[in-house]
Structure 1
Amino acid sequence: MAEFFAKYKEEIQNTWQKLNRNIQILIIVLTILMAGAFGYLIFRGTSTNYQPLFTNLSTDDTAAIVERLDENNVDYQLGGNGNTVLVPESEIYRLRLDMASAGLPDQGVVGFEIFDNSEFGTTEFERRVNYYRALGGELSRSIQSISGIEFARVQITPPEESLFLDEEKSATASVMVKLAPGYNMSAERVNAVQNLVASGVQDLPLTEVTVVDTNGNLLSHPSNPNNDQWSDPQNFAMQQEFESALKNDLNTLLTKVLGPNNFAVQVNANLNFDQRESESKIYSPVIDESGIVRSEEINTETQQNGASGGAPGTDTNIPQYQGNGTGENSSYEKKNNITNYEINERIEHHVYAPGEVQRLSVSVVVDQSTDEETMQQIRDAVSAAIGYNEQRGDVLNISSMAFDDSLEQAAQDAIQARAAAERRQMYIYGGLILLVLLLTSALIIYLYRKKPAANRGSKVDVSVEEDEEEIDLFEPDADQKKRARVKNELENMIHSDPENAAKLIRSWLVDE
């Protein structure tokens, strides 16, 4: 085997020495390009892709996470000024579960585990401070478990006790949350966070819990005695839902007319959340004795032969004395009928549900130069869609102006630039592969064209070897020695300059 490789190596060296210098340079450059291209492809295919395990970490959390990664012999990188830990993409989910089981990262928040190693000489003030610190940490962890909230921090101000009830102050709390990208907390979620904190802290009213996000936006609505319609978060949610529904209806309508991204709609609604009840009684007169009889009194008085009858009573029981003289017989009758009817009464009880629309303000901007007739048609369509009521004080504004699409254009340019970079990278790879193929083909063609000359040289060597075998059959003498010397010179000439040697031998054959 060693002889085979030695022979193969010698053949390669001989072939290399016979090549032209330009061909040698071409082969060297080709080999370097091929090695570089394949090395780059192998590096890209085998390189580790690192992804963030955690971001925006505190110094303590970063140190604890790095220590645990070192214990598990996991490769990692630090980025973002040391507050971001990057790990291999294939290990990211397993490592997050492992870190969660270890309570990392804790975001610098401590819970009731602070009392696990309490010191003997702790004062009452320190114990009280640690208690509210631990309580805030536990509430922060509970809030962080809510979907859409990445980070939460709760700060509690304990109540101030006093000998006088009027001077006592209730506890207060502030909650800062970091929301996930693209997530917005609804009014129900904010109210849930407020109730969670208020229920977990003693003497903490719900109205004393303030919720803000890391962008400085106030998420909770403070109570206002002059305007208490926002004391219930459902009122705010109802108004937002109403405005969103009306805006979606207008977007659907205008998209079919103007096309997408050719208009902008903004809706503002004022709703009345006061609960009202009213009761009214309406009386109407009785017409043509058609009412219901409530009571009826009939009085009848008759008199005959001078004696009149009446209702039984004292006057009728008193003896009557006959007077002198005679009178004529007469009769008398009197009737009195009193009828009382029920009064026509109608009672109406009205209950007004909260959420009545008091005023609407709608603005529509069209991204093009539109004639007045088309603008009027758009105005009529929008007015009908929103139920425009001028007496209610509704405002409707339809205008036309050019939109500023610089942000969209920049995003589109970035996408196109990225696509162009990917195409350039693909062209580079394709060009390298094509160059390798062309150089390889050129080398093969060159070697193939050189093959006949080499074959002719080998024929000359064979003929010389045959002559050598024939000469060796005889006993050497002076002539044979001379021939051997000439033969050696010819062999040296053939090896040093095979082309000229072949021409020389060919001329000898022609002369003979």
Structure 2
Amino acid sequence: MRGLGPVRLAMMGGMMMAMLGFFIFLLTKLGQPNMALLFADLDRTDSNTIAAEVGRLGYPVEIRDQGTAVWVPADKALELRLQMADRGLPVGGKVGFEIFDETDSLGTTDFLQNVNLRRALEGELGRTIQSMDIVHRARVHLVMPRRQLFSREEQQPSASVVLAMRSNKRLDHEQVSAVQNLVASAVPNLKPGRITIIDDKGKLLSPGFEDDSSPNTVAAKNEERRRGFEARMARTIEELIEKTVGFGNVRAEVNADMDFDRVSTTEEIYNPDGQVVRSTQTVERAARNQESEGDPVTVGTNLPDAAPGGGDAARAQSDETSTEETVNFEISKKTVSHVRTDGEIKRVTVAVLVNGIQGKDEEGNQTYTPRPTEQMELLATLVRSTIGFDADRGDSVEVVNMEFASPVRFEEPLELFFGLGKNDLLRLAEILVLSILGILVILLVVRPLVSRAFESIPSAHEAAGRLLADTSSQASGLLGGPSAPAPAEMEEEQFEELIDIDRVEGRVKASSVKKVGEIVEKHPEEALSIIRAWMYQEA
């Protein structure tokens, strides 16, 4: 080993350490179980809780995706998922009524009990709303003011809800109203109008402190009605045309212009032909007038004590008769009241896209053939009849025949091979690659280094033997002159005492080195001259 030198020994030590680390990594990698996803999209609190629970059960666990996913051995994934569900995990990072199981009610103040009750209600409502398929995450905030002592006014509770949707979906008006009523039913004295709902993008879904008669609520309902009418008409058109062109070969879009103004109309209709005598009144009058002609006025008639004139005066007599009849007729009248609240359709436009005829030729290539004009006209007629087409109000229907884009086909997953799935095949491929890499490292790196090391040791042994022989001969020449015996003339036992080359077996014995040291101590000047000679020879 001394013949290798410190540099080569250090290099070999470094290579051995690197190889040891590589094989430890290889064994660790091969010994790891195949991991599978246990839960994803978790709250970090749930991730830590689940990881600790799985570790307590004695199974390896990994947390990935920035603390939102937990991976466990594939053969234990289903079992662990059931065990976590039995323990109520994951909880969505929310605290429910289990908070009262962890607190000591005996030493808890009334204020802390009320705070825990509010937290429990918020957590349970968040879990319930989050159970909807369209909702990814929900957070509820409740404000439940307590009535002060001797206070005449009672403050109403309120709530706010923040929703995170899945895959950029959104709630319609009915679903938002359902969330409002759900929260209102769970909190005493809470009205649905005092619940504000927003989404994770900051969009206001339902403003609070508004009743159903507020302008914003009415406008939202009207918009929802219009969209519902458009979706219903489009679905009806697609279902009708798909009977002819095939499923998935038609797309319809409907745009309706509707008037949601509340209109109340009252009409009174009179029919002059339907007269009926209601009452008759007859009044008869008769009068008789009689007039007499008197004496003429003279001076004598104006004297005192004058006697009136004698004789009968002429008399005039007249009779008068009148009859008045009043007849009251009743004319038939009809009163009609119209109240329109559902909205009036002012105009409808429809666009229908129909795919052509697709097939394959003799060589198996995909072919496309446009549909006949007569068929497209018949389809347009069906669409007009479906929507109640009215040209006077400006309705429009367009039916176009175009080729649909082919759907993107993703690569099919690896087929099962001897009962092995895709993950199993990938695991086997990983093990095979690492094994081949380890074999190559052994053959190309470790084996040459070991061979060179063992080849250099015999050369070091031979050099040491020549060194001892030269040293002995030179020392004998210096001490005894030319007549001194050569090392070959020494007795066999004395020569084996100096160095035993046959039994070296990879290294110079300590006894041989000790003998050389003794020779140098006995003959320091000769040893110095030999070393100088070596230095001159190397130079």
TM-score by length of 1: 0.52
Which digits, 9 at most, give the CA deviation of each residue in 1:29-63, with x for residues without a partner? xxxxxxxxxxxxxxxxxx98865332122332222
Give, in whole Å, the separation in 2 of the partners of 1:119 and 1:176. 37
Matches within 5 A, 1:229-240: 229-232=218-221, 238-240=225-227
How many residues end up aligned between the 2 structures?
A: 347
User: Given the superposition, is the C-alpha separation of residues 291 and 306 from structure 1 closer, same or farther in structure 2, using an over 3 Å criterion?
Assistant: farther
Give, in whole Å, the separation in 2 of the partners of 1:146 and 1:262. 32
Give, in whole Å, the separation in 2 of the partners of 1:348 and 1:373. 47
Give, in whole Å, the separation in 1 of the partners of 2:351 and 2:55. 59
What amino acid maps onto 1:268 in structure 2? Answer: N
Which digits, 9 at most, give the CA deviation of each residue in 1:299-337, with x for residues without a partner? 123468979xxxxxxxxxxxxxxx944668x86543221
The answer to whether the Cα contact below 8 Å between 2:158 and 2:195 also exists between their aligned partners in 1 is no
- Whether 1:298 aligns to 2:282 is yes
Hey, what does 1:269 align to over in structure 2?
256
Hey, what does 1:195 align to over in structure 2?
181
The answer to whether the Cα contact below 8 Å between 1:263 and 1:366 also exists between their aligned partners in 2 is yes
Hey, what does 1:345 align to over in structure 2?
333
Q: Which runs of 5+ in 1 are unaligned?
A: 1-46, 162-167, 308-322, 430-512
What amino acid maps onto 2:267 in structure 1? Answer: S
Give, in whole Å, the separation in 1 of the partners of 2:197 and 2:216. 20
Which digits, 9 at most, give the CA deviation of each residue in 1:465-495, with x for residues without a partner? xxxxxxxxxxxxxxxxxxxxxxxxxxxxxxx
How far residue 197 of structure 1 moved from its aligned partner, in angstroms, is: 3.0
User: Given the superposition, is the C-alpha separation of residues 172 and 298 from structure 1 closer, same or farther in structure 2, using an over 3 Å criterion?
Assistant: same
The answer to whether the Cα contact below 8 Å between 1:171 and 1:203 also exists between their aligned partners in 2 is no
- Whether 1:383 aligns to 2:384 is yes
User: Given the superposition, is the C-alpha separation of residues 150 and 397 from structure 1 closer, same or farther in structure 2, using an over 3 Å criterion?
Assistant: same
The answer to whether the Cα contact below 8 Å between 1:271 and 1:358 also exists between their aligned partners in 2 is yes
Residue identity (%): 30
Task: For residue 414 of structure 1, give the secondary structure of its aligned residue in structure 2.
Answer: coil
Give, in whole Å, the separation in 1 of the partners of 2:320 and 2:227. 85
User: Given the superposition, is the C-alpha separation of residues 210 and 52 from structure 1 closer, same or farther in structure 2, using an over 3 Å criterion?
Assistant: farther
How far residue 245 of structure 1 moved from its aligned partner, in angstroms, is: 2.6
Task: For residue 334 of structure 2, give the secondary structure of its aligned residue in structure 1.
Answer: strand
How far residue 390 of structure 1 moved from its aligned partner, in angstroms, is: 3.5
- Whether 1:354 aligns to 2:342 is yes
- Whether 1:70 aligns to 2:58 is no
How far residue 338 of structure 1 moved from its aligned partner, in angstroms, is: 1.0
- Whether 1:152 aligns to 2:138 is yes
Which digits, 9 at most, give the CA deviation of each residue in 1:359-383, with x for residues without a partner? 3232223445567666544433322
Higher-Rg structure is 2
1:109 to 86, 90, 94: 94
2:45 to 57, 60, 65: 60
Give, in whole Å, the separation in 1 of the partners of 2:38 and 2:158. 38
How far residue 272 of structure 1 moved from its aligned partner, in angstroms, is: 4.5
How far residue 422 of structure 1 moved from its aligned partner, in angstroms, is: 7.2
User: Given the superposition, is the C-alpha separation of residues 200 and 253 from structure 1 closer, same or farther in structure 2, using an over 3 Å criterion?
Assistant: closer
Give, in whole Å, the separation in 2 of the partners of 1:72 and 1:278. 76
How far residue 280 of structure 1 moved from its aligned partner, in angstroms, is: 1.7
How far residue 345 of structure 1 moved from its aligned partner, in angstroms, is: 1.9
How far residue 248 of structure 1 moved from its aligned partner, in angstroms, is: 2.0
Task: For residue 275 of structure 2, give the secondary structure of its aligned residue in structure 1.
Answer: coil
TM-score by length of 2: 0.50
Give, in whole Å, the separation in 2 of the partners of 1:268 and 1:123. 58
Give, in whole Å, the separation in 2 of the partners of 1:91 and 1:218. 44
Hey, what does 1:255 align to over in structure 2?
242
User: Given the superposition, is the C-alpha separation of residues 192 and 420 from structure 1 closer, same or farther in structure 2, using an over 3 Å criterion?
Assistant: closer
Give, in whole Å, the separation in 2 of the partners of 1:351 and 1:304. 65
Give, in whole Å, the separation in 1 of the partners of 2:374 and 2:207. 44
Give, in whole Å, the separation in 2 of the partners of 1:306 and 1:62. 127
What amino acid maps onto 2:127 in structure 1? Answer: R
Matches within 5 A, 1:108-507: 108-111=93-96, 116=103, 133-146=119-132, 149=135, 151-155=137-141, 171=158, 173-179=160-166, 185-198=171-184, 206-207=192-193, 209-212=195-198, 220=206, 228-232=217-221, 238-285=225-272, 287=273, 291-302=275-286, 324-325=313-314, 333-367=321-355, 375-405=376-406, 408-409=407-408, 412-415=409-412, 418=413
The answer to whether the Cα contact below 8 Å between 2:92 and 2:127 also exists between their aligned partners in 1 is no
The answer to whether the Cα contact below 8 Å between 2:97 and 2:124 also exists between their aligned partners in 1 is yes
What amino acid maps onto 1:338 in structure 2? Answer: T
The answer to whether the Cα contact below 8 Å between 2:162 and 2:200 also exists between their aligned partners in 1 is no
The answer to whether the Cα contact below 8 Å between 1:175 and 1:209 also exists between their aligned partners in 2 is no
What amino acid maps onto 1:56 in structure 2? Answer: D
Which digits, 9 at most, give the CA deviation of each residue in 1:226-256, with x for residues without a partner? 5543455xx5654444333312221123224
Give, in whole Å, the separation in 2 of the partners of 1:228 and 1:78. 45
The answer to whether the Cα contact below 8 Å between 1:76 and 1:87 also exists between their aligned partners in 2 is yes
Task: For residue 193 of structure 1, give the secondary structure of its aligned residue in structure 2.
Answer: helix
Which digits, 9 at most, give the CA deviation of each residue in 1:269-309, with x for residues without a partner? 34445554332222343x5xx633333221123468979xx
Hey, what does 2:485 align to over in structure 1?
none
Task: For residue 382 of structure 1, give the secondary structure of its aligned residue in structure 2.
Answer: helix
How far residue 81 of structure 1 moved from its aligned partner, in angstroms, is: 4.4
